[in-house]
């Protein structure tokens, strides 16, 4: 029996249950004792019904790291005792997308995402006598979980698991948005709208990729100060005047070479596309409400201006390639991870982490088991 934080209804506090039974891993699966889990805005968006309503009860959490306790039949790449980062997009390496260099779109992940189960559509957790679904084939708000072998990436055993957890979503997504999705070039001018746990990683990814001007846009001064630590060269407080005209002014009325939306609001999506220069790229990372629309004039906004509007899923990451790369960048002192941890909390404090996220006071709260 273990503990887990369970979403029992939209807009209700997560319930801490201590009766969670974990099945043995099936073929191709691994059981993981979680060491740490970050609290990402996507967890809050599940809790408040912005995304994927309709499947409570479900264990949330998808940004985690831990130690393998048991492996199912046929598992060859991982063994008990291995330290792993959970990949909330399992990447099979064999499907249409994986073999075309887009493992972030792996066909296997879709089944899990839609069902709250693992790759066969069923979860390995049970509570109150019923199967307990797991968010995104992970469920890292559980002391112990079972994930597909292709949803766990081995890391060195001496790497801090609390920092490794953050790599699992915020860092892969944010840094990947800059380095993989946008493929920032040396000398680019970049705007980042939304400087939370993911946006700060877009900023540092852009800095590492060679952007020379990085304009951070947020409504919270604490976040703007953090953004500067992560590499922003200028800041715009969106609560003080129109952020688009401020970015236009800072870029000689041309706009940013690459602008990123990292909030998930219809209004900021439109702002981000508008502040992108002619011929530039607008990268949409934030997850909006399922019925949100993009409201951009088709001619002046896209055709005549030749802008690319590009979605970003999991930082277009190849997790087997990018997790080691990010660890290496951290060890060389180029990637900040410690500074992302605003608070270390217990599983019981997960609802407080949601409150802190709503007021914008934290980059990340990290649950330590
Ligand atoms: P967060 O809550 O830590 O950060 C959001 C930031 O936006 C905060 O700093 C806010 O102050 C700021 N903000 C809010 N409203 C405005 C506004 N109108 N103008 C300017 N700034 C504002 O969230 P996060 O960084 O954890 O996640 C950001 C989004 O990215 C969220 O929608 C999440 O669901 C999404 C996400 N997408 C992927 C993906 O694969 N596409 C992965 C992970 C997270
Ligand atoms: Zn996330």
Domains of the chain: 2-170+316-368 (3.90.180.10), 183-311 (3.40.50.720)
- Residue corresponding to tokens 């909030």: 263
Q: How far apart are CA 351 and CA 347, in angstroms?
A: 9
Determine how β-strand 256-261 pairs with β-strand 15-22: unpaired
Q: Max Cα separation, the chain?
A: 63
Q: From the CB of 41, is ligand 1 less than 6 Å away?
A: yes
User: How far is Cα 57 from Cα 338, in angstroms, rounded to an integer?
Assistant: 33
How far apart CA 71 and CA 57 sit, in angstroms, is 26
Ligand 1 atom closest to Cα of residue 195? 9
Counted residue by residue, the chain has a size of: 369
**What angle (nearest 5°) sits at the alpha carbon of residue 278, between those of residues 277 and 284?**
60
Distance CA 287, CA 49 (A): 12
Q: How far is the CA of 194 from the centre of ligand 1 (A)?
A: 6
Nearest ligand 1 atom to the CA of 362 is 3
Q: Is the CB of 48 under 6 A from ligand 1?
A: no
Q: Do 161 and 36 contact (CB within 8 A), yes or no?
A: yes
Check if 340 has its Cβ closer than 6 Å to any atom of ligand 1.
no
Specify the pLDDT at position 53: 57
| Spatial distance between the Cα atoms of 251 and 246, rounded to a whole number of angstroms | 9
Ligand 1 atom showing the smallest separation from residue 42 Cα: 34
- Omega cis (within 30) before 59: no
Ligand 1 pocket, residue 350 CB under 6 Å? no
Nearest-CA residue for ligand 1 atom 37 is 286
pLDDT at 341: 98
Residue in 47, 238, 286, 311 to alter for ligand 1 test, most ligand atoms within 8 A of Cβ = 286
Q: Which ligand is nearest to the CA of 198?
A: 1
Report residue 320 as tokens.
Answer: 């087997």
Q: Using a CB cutoff of 5 Å, list residues around ligand 2, an ion.
A: 40, 42, 169
Contacts 24+ apart (CB under 8 A), 82-85: 82/154, 82/157, 83/154, 83/155, 83/156, 83/157, 83/159, 83/161, 83/164, 84/30, 84/32, 84/152, 84/153, 84/154, 84/155, 85/152, 85/153, 85/155, 85/164, 85/165, 85/167, 85/168, 85/319, 85/323
* Ligand 1 proximity of 124 Cβ (cutoff 6 Å): no
Among the bound ligands, the one closest to the CA of 353: 1
Between CA 79 and CA 28, with CA 173 as vertex, the angle to 5 degrees is: 25
> How many Å apart are CA 14 and CA 204, to the nearest integer?
32
Q: What is the 323 CA–ligand 2 centroid distance (Å)?
A: 15
DSSP states of 267-303 as a string? HHHHHHHHTEEEEEEEEE-S---TT------HIIIII
Output the CA angle 265-105-8, nearest 5 degrees: 55
CA–CA dist 186, 4 (Å, integer):
45
The best mutation among 38, 174, 194, 236 to test binding of ligand 1, ranked by most ligand atoms within 8 Å of the C-beta, falls on 194
Regions of the chain where pLDDT drops below 50: none
Give the pLDDT of residue 54: 58
Question: Exposed, middle or buried by CB within 10 Å (0-12, 13-18, 19+), for 278?
Answer: exposed
How many other C-beta atoms lie within 10 A of the C-beta of residue 91?
26
The residue whose CA is least distant from atom 7 of ligand 1 is: 194
């Amino acid at each position: 029996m273990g503990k887990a934080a369970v979403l029992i209804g939209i807009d209700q506090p997560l319930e801490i249950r201590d009766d969670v039974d974990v099945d043995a891993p099936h073929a191709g699966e691994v059981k993981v004792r979680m060491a740490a889990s970050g609290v990402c805005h996507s967890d809050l968006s599940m809790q408040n019904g912005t995304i994927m309503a309709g499947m409570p009860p479900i264990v949330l959490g998808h940004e985690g790291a831990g130690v393998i306790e048991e492996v199912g039949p046929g598992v060859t790449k991982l063994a008990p005792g291995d330290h792993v980062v959970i990949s909330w997009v399992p990447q099979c390496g064999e499907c249409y997308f994986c073999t075309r260099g887009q493992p972030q779109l792996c066909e296997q992940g879709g089944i899990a995402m839609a069902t709250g189960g693992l790759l066969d559509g069923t979860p390995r957790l049970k509570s109150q006598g019923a199967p307990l679904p797991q968010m995104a084939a992970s469920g890292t708000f559980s002391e112990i979980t079972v994930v597909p072998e292709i949803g766990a990436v081995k890391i060195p055993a001496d790497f801090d698991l609390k920092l490794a957890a953050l790599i699992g979503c915020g860092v892969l997504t944010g840094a990947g948005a800059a380095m993989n999705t946008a493929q920032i070039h040396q000398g680019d001018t970049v705007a980042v709208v939304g400087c939370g746990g993911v946006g700060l990683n877009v900023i540092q990814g852009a800095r590492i990729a060679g952007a020379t001007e990085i304009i951070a846009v947020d409504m919270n001064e604490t976040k703007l100060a953090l953004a500067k630590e992560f590499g922003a060269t200028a800041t715009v407080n969106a609560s003080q005047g129109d952020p688009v005209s401020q970015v236009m002014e800072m870029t000689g009325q041309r706009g940013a070479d690459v602008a990123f939306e990292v909030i998930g609001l219809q209004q900021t999506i439109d702002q981000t596309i508008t502040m992108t220069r002619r011929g530039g790229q607008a990268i949409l990372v934030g997850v909006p409400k399922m019925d949100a629309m993009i409201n951009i004039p088709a001619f002046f906004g896209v055709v005549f201006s030749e802008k690319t509007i590009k979605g970003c899923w999991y930082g277009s990451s190849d997790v087997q390639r990018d997790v080691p790369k990010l660890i290496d960048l951290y060890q060389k002192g180029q990637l900040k991870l410690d500074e992302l941890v605003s608070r270390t909390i217990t599983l019981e404090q997960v609802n407080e982490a949601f409150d802190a996220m709503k007021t914008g006071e934290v980059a990340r709260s990290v649950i330590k088991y």
